[in-house]
Structure 1
Amino acid sequence: MGGQYRITGDKYPRMRRPRRRGKLVVLTVASVAVLGVGGWGTLQLIDVFTGGGDSASAAGTKACSAVASPAASPAAAGKALPRPGTITVNVLNATTRGGLAQKTADELKKRGFRIGEVANAPAAYDKKVKGTGVLLGPAAALDTALPVLGTQLAGAERRTDPARKGVELDLIIGDGFRGLTAKADADLALTSLADPKPTPASKKNC
């Protein structure tokens, strides 16, 4: 080109390449993330090998202990259970169905229990027992004779009367009564009551 815009000399203006700031930012963020994940993993390993999870372990131990402990029973508590032959049962009918008391008394006698009075229930219970039945006895029978009799009538309510004298029990038949527990099942329940087995802990809960 001629004129005043002629370029002279051997140096030419150079164009600088645009700086890649975006890549630098991405690389920086990625580096921080990798370091953070690595540090978290290291802390987890330290907790595992140094017992950092003591609180969780203690909680797990308590849960396992609760599962493994069997329910308290008269035998486990050191109380001797009476044999059926030493328990006298009064069989009382609180329903409008006739003959239930005698039939039930006969079956209990076959199973080894002593039978006392066989009659209709007193006014306090007559036609007022909606469930299977009520087992009633003195306070001393709560953890001894009542559980033994309870094996013969599953679902019966157990009650004690502190003012009651003697050792006899009452089996009061209610509207929901359909018969005594099957003998095989009653015998099994009686055996379990006399010699309870601890429930094994579940591995899933430990």
Structure 2
Amino acid sequence: MGGKYRITGNRYPRMRKPRRRGRLVFLAAASVAVVGVIGWGTWQLIDVFTGGSKASAAEAGGDCSTKASPAASPSPTNAARALPKPGQITVNVLNATPRSGLAKQTADELKKRGFRIGQVGNASEEFDKKVKGAGLLLGPASSLNTSLPVLATQLAGAESRADTRKGTDVDLIIGTGFKALTQPAAADEALTALTAPRPEPTTPKRGC
């Protein structure tokens, strides 16, 4: 080099890159962490596929697959419904159609099926020729879940409705769509289904 400053001697300064020891340490730590995460995940997969949860359950209280479950105790959901028998229900049979003699004919048939018969005659002006279906079943509010469902088994398609009456008597008002009472065999089958116990749905235990 020329000028004022000159380099003398036979040795020259050498330029070296700074050592990156900090970066190497960081990479090593990160590698260890990744290996650890991979190992933990692999262990979890092995535990799942080899039934580790079942083994834990067996250690805690026995293997549920080989242990018989206790019998279910009776509950309101599977107990038989407490409904009145036909002989405990008094039915007023009222004719709301132009066909004469229909109320007595229907009342006689209901009597043969065990029902108690009250009033028999024509329907009041409120319902006369105004019931379009097979019939209308009327009773106090308490009868909606007691007497009326039992009576409804004898006349398919009849509407059930509550009114403000006193007492326990119920009305069967024959509508213009009435043809006949339900056949005795079908009515008995419907009554049996109505009073039969309702099985409680079973839910399998988790882990079994």
TM-score normalised to structure 2 length: 0.58
Write the distance in 1 (CA, Å) between the matches of 2:174 and 2:83.
24
CA deviation vs aligned residue, 1:136-190 (integer Å, no higher than 9, x gap): 00000000100000000010000001x2100000000001100100000000000
SS in 2 for 1:177: coil
- Given that 1:101 and 1:118 are in contact with CA atoms closer than 8 Å, whether structure 2 keeps it comes out as yes
> 1:178 matched to which residue of 2?
179
Does the 8 A contact of 2:80 with 2:197 survive in 1?
no
Larger radius of gyration: 2
Q: Which amino acid aligns with 2:187?
A: A
For 2:148 and 2:116, locate their aligned partners in 1 and report how far apart those are by CA, in whole Å.
Answer: 14
The Cα of 1:77 is off from its aligned counterpart by 7.6
1:99 maps to 2:86: no
Using a 3 Å threshold, how does the CA distance of structure 1 residues 78 and 184 change in structure 2: closer, same or farther?
Answer: closer
Distance change >3 Å, CA 137–CA 75, structure 1 → 2: farther
Counterpart-to-counterpart distance in 2, 1:166 and 1:138: 7
Structure with the larger helix share: 1
Give 1:80 deviation, angstroms. 1.4
- Structure 1 residue runs without a partner (length 5+): 1-45, 50-73, 202-206
Residue matched to 1:43:
none
1:134 matched to 2:166? The reply is no
C-alpha distance in structure 1 between counterparts of 2:167 and 2:77, whole Å = 23
How much does 1:75 deviate? Answer: 8.3
Q: RMSD in angstroms over aligned alpha carbons?
A: 2.9
8 A Cα contact 1:75 1:81, kept in partner: no
Distance 2:146 2:114 in 1: 16
Counterpart-to-counterpart distance in 1, 2:152 and 2:77: 15
Q: What residue in structure 2 maps to residue 193 of structure 1?
A: 194
Letter in 1 for 2:94: L
Where do 1:5-24 residues align within 5 Å? none
Q: Distance in 2 between matches of 1:185 and 1:159?
A: 23
Q: Which runs of 4+ in 1 moved over 4 A?
A: 74-79, 196-201
Summarize the alignment of residues 27-176 of structure 1 with structure 2, pairs less than 5 Å apart.
80-161=82-163, 163-176=164-177
- Cα distance in 2 between the residues matched to 1:199 and 1:182: 31
- Equivalenced residue count is 136
Percent of counterpart pairs with the same letter?
Answer: 66
1:188 is matched by which residue type in structure 2? Answer: E
* Aligned amino acid, residue 183 of structure 1: P
Q: What SS does structure 2 have at the residue aligned with 1:118?
A: strand
**Whole-Å Cα distance in 2 between the matches of residues 194 and 82 of structure 1?**
10
- Secondary structure of the residue aligned to 1:142 is helix
CA distance in 1, matches of 2:78, 2:199: 10
Aligned equivalents of 1:185 and 1:85: distance in 2?
A: 19
If the length of structure 1 is used for normalisation, what is the TM-score?
Answer: 0.58
C-alpha separation in 1, matches of 2:179 and 2:168: 27
